[in-house]
Amino acid sequence: MLEMDEIQKRLLREVADLHKVPEGAYNIRANGESAGRVSTENIEIEPRESGDGLTIRIKPNTKNESVHIPVVMTKSGIKELVYNDFYVGENADVTIVAGCGIDNCGSQDSEHDGIHRFFIGKGANIRYVEKHYGSGSGSGKRILNPGTEVYMEADSSMEMEMVQIKGVDDTNRTTKAELAENAKLVIRERLMTHGDQNALSFYDVQLNGEGSSADLVSRSVARDNSYQKFDATLTGNAACSGHTECDAIIMDKGTILAVPALEANDVDAALVHEAAIGKIAGDQIIKLMTLGLTEAEAEEQIINGFLK
Amino acid sequence: MLELKNITFQVNDEGSDKEIIRDISLTIPDDKLVVITGPNGGGKSTLARLIAGIEKPTSGQILLDGEDITNLSITDRAKKGIGFAFQQPVRFKGIQVFDLIKLATGTNLSVGEACQFLSAVGLCARDYIDREVNSSLSGGELKRIEIATVLAKASRLSVFDEPEAGIDLWSFQNLIEVFQNMREQIHDSSILIISHQERILNIADEIVVLKDGKLEKQGSREEILPSLMGTASAVPECRKNFVAKEDAQEC
Ligand SMILES: Nc1ncnc2c1ncn2[C@@H]1O[C@H](COP(=O)(O)OP(=O)(O)O)[C@@H](O)[C@H]1O
Ligand SMILES: [Mg+2]
């Protein structure tokens, strides 16, 4: 059974919707150590020899199974770098839930840097969810730097949902993907920053195979004095289709820099980008006020909806 | 009952003052359906916005059931019982039709209850209840959802600004029925509709004609309607505002 305190359990609920031990394969990392690990017949989780991460192997044709690998940190002053490699067998169809919650009540910074690499076999389908959450009243920062690399073989698909709504002071996210024939990548990023937070997000998606496609949509809200940078490059190296969209709400004294970029190296590459940054529309607030909400309640509803 | 007393509304337009509403006094009694008509640009929407608190009058008073609400915010007026369906409804990314109806009622109503309001405006509830109130909705669909939110709010005074705009002819009959039903059930509350449509004027208890920011005429339907027939203030259906056929889904 897991040995975890209440704060760690709360973090787990925030980042992985886990109220109890998950079904299927899992590894829970708490304060730099494994607090529980289970492999299944089809999904094997092994610690790396160097102790700094996991190797996860999913057998071909594994269907409807899930892997949870949440990370929680509750000690101030920990800094860790872990590498998790996922080898997904052909035609597997699984859900992977990652995510990191940091509670920092101390004065030293806590930092988790996770490098996730996905090697996705032919015809496999992956749904990947990664949530970040920070809490704690200490002056030490909560820092998360996720690096994600995705290598997709022919006819595979991956849907990534990345969410960071609260409490993370500093993030620098890089996501790289390479897609072979007919591979399909869908990314949905939702981000809210407040206080003096910084969030950087870089994407580099290479559409190498004929018929490959990528759809990358970021919705974000920057409040207070926070800063966000969204920098996404789609490169089309074959007959492919790609779309990126950055849709951002700016409030207070927030700053948002959106840098969408497209590179087409094939005459049949069809690439589109959209970027929009603006404050909440006044008529949206007014409409909700005519239903009896206060201005603050109206803003909250609009933002909740936007980030839903 | 809503009373407007000597309401004037001025704006500063490119350096010069412009009077958009000029000394309007008007009572919307309980248990009545009042229709405001008049030429475009006459100040009808502005008057509705003044009632909802979106604009504040330059001078004059607004009373709801005898209480002076002139200085109350939009929110406080909504809580005291003013509902307002916009001429141009607002779109929201991510907020679903169900969310909006729930917010309108201010209760934790069930999906089934929310669906009744959609059915009332002729939309197939199960097709719309989960839809986002975003640009994927057509103008006519959005307009009906707007009306549904105001029905759901069940106000002391419900104001509808050109509810027929963007709604096709066939559905217009539905809409008339919606207002007729509302009229029958308004006990102790009132309805104010801004419209040029003869069919809507036909179900009014009272008609008000607004022109150049002034009250031109006001009285019972029997008194006022005959003089409007054939003018832009009472248009027979199919001439104005209608779209040929919208794509709203009915069950
Ligand atoms: N805030 C404003 N500033 C300047 N002009 C306005 C403002 N609000 C309304 N108007 C003008 O007042 C007139 C009345 O508008 P409106 O109330 O929308 O008329 P209606 O609904 O009867 O067509 C129009 O000429 C409009 O351009
Ligand atoms: Mg108008």
| CB nearest B103 (choices: A247, A284, A288) | A288
pLDDT at A1: 44
Long-range pairs, B120-124, Cβ under 8 A, ≥24: B120/B148, B120/B151, B120/B178, B120/B181, B121/B145, B121/B147, B121/B148, B121/B151, B121/B174, B121/B175, B121/B178, B122/B171, B122/B174, B122/B175, B122/B178, B122/B248, B122/B250, B123/B148, B123/B248, B123/B249, B123/B250, B124/B249, B124/B250, B124/B251
Q: What is residue B233's predicted lDDT score, i.e. its pLDDT?
A: 82
Mutate one of A290, A294, A295 to test the B interface: name it (highest B CB count within 10 A): A290
Confidence of residue A8 (pLDDT cuts 50, 70, 90): confident
φ, ψ of residue B205 in degrees (nearest 5) = -80, -40
Position B242 pLDDT exceeds 60? no
**Percent of chain A at pLDDT above 70?**
99
In this prediction, residues B2-27 reach a mean pLDDT of 95
- Whether the CB of A274 is below 8 Å from some CB of chain B: the reply is no
Q: Are B196 and B229 in contact (CB under 8 A)?
A: no
Say if B213 is an interface residue toward chain A (CB within 8 Å): no
Cβ distance A290 to B52 less than 8 Å, yes or no, reads yes
Angle, CA of A257, A263 and A264, to the nearest 5°:
155
Average pLDDT over residues A271-291: 96
Does the beta carbon of B20 sit less than 6 angstroms from any atom of ligand 1? yes
The protein residues having their C-beta less than 5 angstroms from ligand 2 (an ion) are B 44-45, 87
pLDDT (0 to 100) of residue A17: 80
Does position A126 have pLDDT exceeding 70, yes or no? yes
pLDDT digits (tens, 9 = 90+) for B54-76: 999 999 999 999 999 999 999 99
The answer to whether the CB of B197 is under 6 A from ligand 1 is no
Whether the per-residue pLDDT at B238 is higher than 70: the answer is no
Residue A97 pLDDT exceeds 90: yes
In the numeric block, which tokens belong to residue A209? 């195979």
Nearest CA to ligand 1 atom 10: B20
**Do residues B128 and B161 make contact, with C-beta atoms less than 8 angstroms apart?**
no
Residue B142 near residue B90, CB atoms below 8 Å:
no
- 3-state SS of chain A is CCCCCHHHHHHHHHHHCCCCCCCCEEEEEECCEEEEEECCCCEEEEECCCCCEEEEEECCCCEEEEEECCEEECCCCCEEEEEEEEEECCCCEEEEEEEEEEECCCCCCEEEEEEEEEEECCCCEEEEEEEEEEECCCCCCEEEEEEEEEEECCCCEEEEEEEEEECCCEEEEEEEEEECCCCEEEEEEEEEECCCCEEEEEEEEEECCCCCEEEEEEEEEECCCCEEEEEEEEEECCCEEEEEEEEEEECCCCEEEEEEEEEECCCCEEEEEEEEEECCCHHHHHHHHHCCCCHHHHHHHHHHHHCC
Is the Cβ atom of B41 under 6 angstroms away from ligand 1? yes
Closest CA to A172 of A118, A117, A128, A115: A115
Asked whether residue A264 carries a pLDDT value surpassing 50, the answer given is yes
Distance from CA of A301 to the nearest CA of B (A): 8
Residue B133 in contact with residue B157, Cβ under 8 Å? no
The chain-wide mean pLDDT, for chain B, equals: 91
Kindly state the average pLDDT of the residues A10-33: 86
Considering chain A, what percentage of its residues have pLDDT values greater than 90? Answer: 84
Higher pLDDT, B118 or B241: B118
pLDDT confidence of residue B229: 83
Report the pLDDT averaged over residues B210-221: 95
The structural domains of chain A, with segments of one domain joined by +, span 6-306
Nearest to A306 among B74, B94, B96 (CB): B94
Cα B45 to ligand 1 centre (Å): 7
Of A6-10, A238-242, B243-247, give the range with the top mean pLDDT: A238-242
A161 interfaces chain B, CB cutoff of 8 Å: no
- 3-class SS string, A42-64: CEEEEECCCCCEEEEEECCCCEE
**pLDDT interval class at A166 (50, 70, 90):** confident
Yes or no, beta carbons of A295 and B75 under 8 Å apart: yes
pLDDT of residue A15: 85
- Out of B79, B83, B94, the one facing A308 most closely (by C-beta) is B94
Ligand 1 atom with minimal separation from the B161 CA: 21
Beta carbon of B232 within 6 Å of any ligand 1 atom: no
CATH topology of domain B2-250: Rossmann fold (3.40.50)
Our answer on whether the CB atom of B213 is closer than 6 Å to any ligand 1 atom is no
Give chain B's length.
251
Q: State the alpha helices, DSSP H only, in B74-168.
A: 74-80, 97-105, 111-120, 125-128, 139-153
pLDDT 10s digits, B220-234: 999 999 988 878 788
Q: What is the mean pLDDT of chain A?
A: 94
CA distance readout (Å), B212 to A129, B40, B208: 59, 9, 13
Q: What is the pLDDT of residues B138-197, one digit of tens each?
A: 988 999 999 999 999 999 999 999 998 887 766 788 889 989 988 888 888 999 999 999
Give nearest CA residue, ligand 1 atom 7.
B11
Ligand 2 centroid from CA B213, angstroms: 12
In contact, A233 and A203? CB cutoff 8 Å: yes
Please tell me the predicted confidence (pLDDT) of residue A220: 97
pLDDT at B244: 58
Work out the minimum CA distance from B168 to partner chain A, whole angstroms: 24
Note the pLDDT of residue B167. 79
Assembly ipTM: 0.94
Using a pLDDT cut of 90, give the percent of chain B over it: 74
> Is the pLDDT higher at A15 or at B129?
B129
Asked if B170 and B202 touch (Cβ cutoff 8 Å), the reply is no
Token couple for B127: 């097709």
